[in-house]
Structure 1
Amino acid sequence: MVLPTDILNASILIVDDLEANVLLLEQMLQEAGYCRVSSTMDPRSVSALHRDHHYDLILLDLQMPGMDGFQVMESLKKIEIDGYVPILVITAQPAHKLRALASGAKDFVSKPFDLIEVKTRIHNMLEVRLLYKQLEHFNQVLEQTVQERTAELRESEARFRRLTELSSDWYWEQDENGHFTNVYGPVLEMLSPAQTDSLPDATQETPAARWNETERAALAANIAARRPFLNFIYSRVHADGVHQYFQVSGEPKFDPIGRFTGYRGVGRDVTEIMLDIATPATA
């Protein structure tokens, strides 16, 4: 929203080679309450002035000796390459109006001046200009916010990964087809061949190790039903009779529209804990 005070505080540059026209426009703008009005009768200085001040509006006469208004507009385009050049041209030649608009002018007023028309067009152009600046500022703030949120998300993901690494032996992610998309630690060694066949570098189960099929079937049922599971324990027995126990937790992943996209989870080797529990304490 543009407030009336914002419009009256906008910066305006008057460019005309006739002093009488400059004085008339300055007086009109000052009486209307505009407080940041500048002027020049040298068209060659406009580019440098705009580069330093970035005026909210330039009142530009088209017919000037040495450098006409069309040449001034071309020079201004080099400064505001991707921006909005706020130019209101002043002309006594009706035939110049279309050319002026094609050259980059946003509006025009005719000589001799109709002061009410001039003030109305100036007010309207400034309102559009300030709305454009507000939108540009909003987009910059939005872009910065997105960058900050993205950085925060990446930091949060990195922190989550570090915590996961500290609290578990492995971390894993699967897609909707059960293929591993992200693993950390010896997850491929700990899981069965059926779950690792899709990976060319997967470590296969050795024939000497035998899984507890009942436990594995229960785990597979959880995954097939897309249920979360917490601290699920399953085991295998090696040829030498040594038991190995694993604890795994996982949760299904869904996209914003509720479509299943896979699983993610953590796990660890809990053999020592389970053997301590199974071994009776000696008196």
Structure 2
Amino acid sequence: MITESEILAASILVVDDQEPNILLLEQLLSDAGYTCVASTRNPQEVCALHRKNGYDLILLDLQMPVMDGFQVMEGLKTNVSDAYLPVLVITAQPGHKLRALQAGARDFVSKPFDLVEVRTRIRNMLEVRLLYKQLANYNAVLERTVEERTAELRESEARYRSLTELASDWYWEQDEKMNFTKVSGPVLEMLGIRVGPLVGETTDVVLTGWNEAEREVLQATIAARQPFLDFLFHRVNADGSQQQFRVSGEPMFNRACRFIGYRGIGVEVTAGY
């Protein structure tokens, strides 16, 4: 929520070529408790002043020589750092009200001034403007936080992969369609799969030496998207020697609990026994 002190501390620019009008509005704002009020009689300065100071509200007279209020608003639209046009127009011409709103003004007050109406419209506009800025700031902070968390997650994932590869003889990852996306070590042979002639292509083949009963259990566990820890897998080589592997794996899910793949590691625990 926007507090009373925040509203009264908002920055306001009064733009009018008539000195009496400026003095009247400055006195009105001062009496209402506003503490950050500036003014100019030169409409050609407004865009540069707003780019420099980022006013929360611009009280803009429409009828001015050299550059009228409509031209000022067109210039303010070029300020790409602020998509919100914080303009309350001042006009003595009833026909200009709709045109001013169509040109981007947020509200208007009529001359001669109804002081109660002017104070009310100024306050309402400032409250909306400050809420808009508060939301924009929150979104910017949220975006930075998401970027930082994403970077941390990627760094953590990279460290995890590095550690798992250092701590194991082989490592693999599969996507949600169970296609292998990363493989190091004999996991494809263990599952009865051989990489084809094209990158990423795999073909089912019969590879001898692996324990078929263990292979079926491992494949069924993965197909059911179940984790497994220290699963023992055996192989008999052509020379009669045997190997034993300890393998672990887990399914992966995103924050929406949607299955996105599988990953696992393995180490050879016995060789030549």
TM (norm. structure 2) is 0.90
Q: Deviations over 1:114-155 (max 9, x none)?
A: 000000000000000000000000010010010001001101
**Residue 97 (structure 1) aligned with residue 97 (structure 2):** yes
1:200 and 2:198 aligned: no
> What is the aligned partner in structure 1 of residue 132 from structure 2?
132
Is 2:209 the partner of 1:240? no
Cα 1:101–1:258 shift into 2, 3 Å: closer
- Whether contact under 8 Å (1:179, 1:196) holds in the other structure is no
**1:84-233 residue pairs with structure 2 within 5 A?**
84-175=84-175, 178-189=178-189, 191-193=190-192, 195-196=193-194, 200=201, 209-233=208-232
Aligned-residue CA RMSD in angstroms? 2.3
Which deviates further from its counterpart, 235-244 or 247-256?
247-256
Q: Is the 8 A contact 2:191 2:219 kept in 1?
A: no
Q: Distance in 2 between matches of 1:176 and 1:36?
A: 58
Structure 1's unaligned 5+ residue stretches are: 276-283
After alignment, is 165-174 or 118-127 more displaced?
Answer: 165-174
Length, aligned pairs only = 270
Match of 1:278 in 2: none
**Cα offset, 1:184, TM superposition:** 2.9
Aligned pair in 2 of structure 1 residues 42, 224: CA closer, same or farther (>3 Å)?
Answer: closer
Q: CA–CA distance in 1 between the matches of 2:167 and 2:234?
A: 20
Distance (Å, rounded) in 2 between the aligned partners of 1:40 and 1:113: 19
What CA deviation, in whole Å up to 9, does each residue of 1:93-133 have, x standing for no partner?
Answer: 00111111111111100000000000000000000000000
Within the alignment, does 1:251 sit opposite 2:250 as a pair? Answer: yes
| Contact preservation (8 Å) 2:195, 2:202 | no
Q: Is the 8 A contact 1:14 1:60 kept in 2?
A: yes
Amino acid at match of 1:62: L
Which one is further off, 197-206 or 210-219? 197-206
- Seen in structure 2, the aligned counterparts of structure 1 residues 133 and 269 have a Cα distance that, compared at 3 Å, is same
The verdict on how the C-alpha distance between 1:216 and 1:66 changes in structure 2, with shifts beyond 3 A counting, is closer
Is the deviation greater in 75-84 or in 37-46? 75-84
CA distance in 1, matches of 2:63, 2:96: 10
Per-residue deviation, 1:213: 2.7
TM-superposed deviation, 1:28:
0.6
Greater strand share, structure number: 2
Asked if structure 2 preserves the Cα contact closer than 8 Å seen for 1:192 and 1:204, the reply is no
Structure 2 unaligned regions, length at least 5: none
Distance 1:141 1:87 in 2: 26
Give the equivalent residue in structure 1 for 2:73: 73
Shift of residue 10 of structure 1?
A: 0.3
Query: Structure 1: how far apart are the matches of 2:53 and 2:259?
Result: 56
Q: TM-score, normalised by structure 1?
A: 0.87
The verdict on how the C-alpha distance between 1:87 and 1:80 changes in structure 2, with shifts beyond 3 A counting, is farther
User: Once the 2 structures are TM-superposed, how far is the Cα of residue 256 of structure 1 from its aligned partner?
Assistant: 5.5
Q: 1:258 deviation in Å? A: 5.5
Alpha-carbon distance, 1:254 to partner? 4.4
For 2:57 and 2:256, the matched residues in 1 are separated by: 48
1:229–1:249 contact (8 Å) kept in structure 2: yes
